[in-house]
Amino acid sequence: MDIQIAPSILAADFANLGADIKAVEQAGADLLHVDVMDANFVPNISIGPSVIKSIRSHTDLIFDVHLMIEEPHRYVESFAAAGADWITIHPEASSDTAETLQTIRSLGKKTGVSLKPATSLDEIAEHLELIDLILIMTVEPGFGGQSFMSDMLEKVKAARELIGASGRAINLEVDGGIKADTAPQVIAAGANVLVSGTGIFGFDQSDYGTAISALRNA
Ligand code: DX5
Ligand code: ZN
């Protein structure tokens, strides 16, 4: 299976965001993972649509936007307009997951659902037809640089089985603590899209290519 690498700009240098994004693009990134936090769903604040709009012209990378916000249905249209390509919501934060996914589709964007460590796959099993991406959190959402939770590997395996049984081409993404040592474990469990923040932006720009290859070929 082709492995796609999605650097998370949460760990980038926000004073040089455009240059950092260009650098990961040139270093072989497949997607750009954009973490949006509202100080409500998670105890942290990051960026919103205006930053996404600003960086849109700096890269051709697909924007994989991870909404860690309450009531995502109120904001998906703004994120689509700002330049998001994939829009991932948390069912734990959504009053109507199916309706929000339908809205994302109607905006011409790819749909994702992300599950916190304690949330069961059962939450999304009934919505698979509306889903293009399942994102399994391998840390508690909110902060970069946390340690990978190896007990999530079983969930990744179960998600891969669910996807196989559905017959649909759903991407399986993992996010949190993905580095050269944990990447082989998530790939073996069935993940095909790997998010990494500190595992890429934690290095000097000149080493982004090495870091990305190490994840991809783990
Ligand atoms: C955490 C975010 C992650 C974060 C990952 O809530 O969803 O995308 O940036 O950071 P690392 O790779 O440093 O664990
Ligand atoms: Zn994320």
Ligand number nearest CA of 179 is: 1
Write the residue with the smallest CA distance to atom 6 of ligand 1.
141
Average pLDDT, the chain: 97
- Rounded Cα distance between 167 and 191, Å, is 16
User: Given the CA of residue 114, which atom of ligand 1 is nearest to it?
Assistant: 7
Catalytic choice (20, 30, 35, 38) = 35
**What pLDDT shows up at residue 73?**
97
Beta strands in the chain (DSSP E): 4-7, 31-37, 62-68, 86-89, 110-115, 133-137, 171-175, 193-196
Catalytic choice (30, 38, 132, 175) = 175
Band (pLDDT 50/70/90 cuts) for residue 63 is very high
- Please state the pTM of the whole predicted model: 0.98
Domains and CATH numbers, the chain: 4-216 (3.20.20.70)
CA of 194 to the centre of ligand 1 (A): 11
175 is catalytic: yes
**What pLDDT shows up at residue 92?**
97
Band (pLDDT 50/70/90 cuts) for residue 93 is very high
Residue 1 has pLDDT above 90, yes or no: no
What CA–CA distances, in Å, run from 190 to 153, 157, 172, 181? 9, 6, 7, 16
Angle of helix 49-56 relative to helix 17-26, nearest 10 degrees, comes to: 60
Residue 123 has pLDDT above 90, yes or no: yes
What percent of the chain has a predicted confidence (pLDDT) above 70? 100
**Ligand 1 lined by 197 (C-beta under 6 Å):** yes
Residue 81 has pLDDT above 90, yes or no: yes
Band (pLDDT 50/70/90 cuts) for residue 94 is confident
Note the pLDDT tens digit of each residue in 136-148: 999 999 999 999 9
CA of 177 to the centre of ligand 1 (A): 7
Note the pLDDT tens digit of each residue in 100-116: 999 999 999 999 999 99
CB 68 within 8 A of CB 42: yes
**Ligand 1 lined by 66 (C-beta under 6 Å):** yes
13 is catalytic: no
**What pLDDT shows up at residue 95?**
81
Write the residue with the smallest CA distance to atom 9 of ligand 1.
144
Note the pLDDT tens digit of each residue in 150-209: 999 999 999 999 999 999 999 999 999 999 999 999 999 999 999 999 999 999 999 999
Band (pLDDT 50/70/90 cuts) for residue 97 is very high
Average pLDDT over residues 31-44: 98
- Rounded Cα distance between 154 and 143, Å, is 23
CB 54 within 8 A of CB 65: no
**Ligand 1 lined by 31 (C-beta under 6 Å):** no
